[in-house]
Amino acid sequence: MIFIAGSQPRITKYQLNHTKLCPNCHNYSKWILEKNKQYISLFFIPVIPVQTKYRHYCLICGYTEVLDELTFNKELDDAKPLNT
Ligand SMILES: [Zn+2]
């Protein structure tokens, strides 16, 4: 029997409802929050979650900051899901 296994990301994006100052481009914009959950997949179906990464980034210049889960959830309180 042949198994096709690998890993695949599942990315969820949210947009902040308030503006935030970017330390790179010095503009205020509604930053994007991103949750990147990595799964082990079997036959291209995500089965086991292995790692989750959190980050947010500036919409204007793309400056990115990595977040921990606690900070991410705190920022998520004032954000809405983004359909991509
Ligand atoms: Zn920026």
Between residues 25 and 42, the one the model is more confident about: 25
Q: How far, in Å, from the CA of 10 to the mean position of ligand 1?
A: 25
- Rounded distance between C-alpha atoms, residue 66 and residue 53, angstroms: 8
Residues whose CB is less than 8 angstroms from the CB of residue 74 and which lie 6 or more positions away in sequence, other chains included: none
Provide the CB-side half-sphere exposure for 65 (13 A, CA). 17
Read off the pLDDT of each residue in 30-53 and give the average, rounded to a whole number. 92
Q: How far, in Å, from the CA of 52 to the mean position of ligand 1?
A: 24
Read off the pLDDT of each residue in 52-76 and give the average, rounded to a whole number. 97
Q: How far, in Å, from the CA of 18 to the mean position of ligand 1?
A: 15
> In the chain, how many domains are there?
1
The pTM assigned to this predicted structure is 0.82
Between residues 4 and 73, the one the model is more confident about: 73
pLDDT for residue 84? 61
Q: How far, in Å, from the CA of 8 to the mean position of ligand 1?
A: 29
Task: Calculate ∠ Cα 31-37-73, nearest 5°.
Answer: 50
Q: How far, in Å, from the CA of 25 to the mean position of ligand 1?
A: 4
The answer to whether 42 and 5 have CB atoms below 8 angstroms apart is yes
- 74 phi, psi to nearest 5 deg: -65, -45
Q: Which domain holds residue 62?
A: 5-81
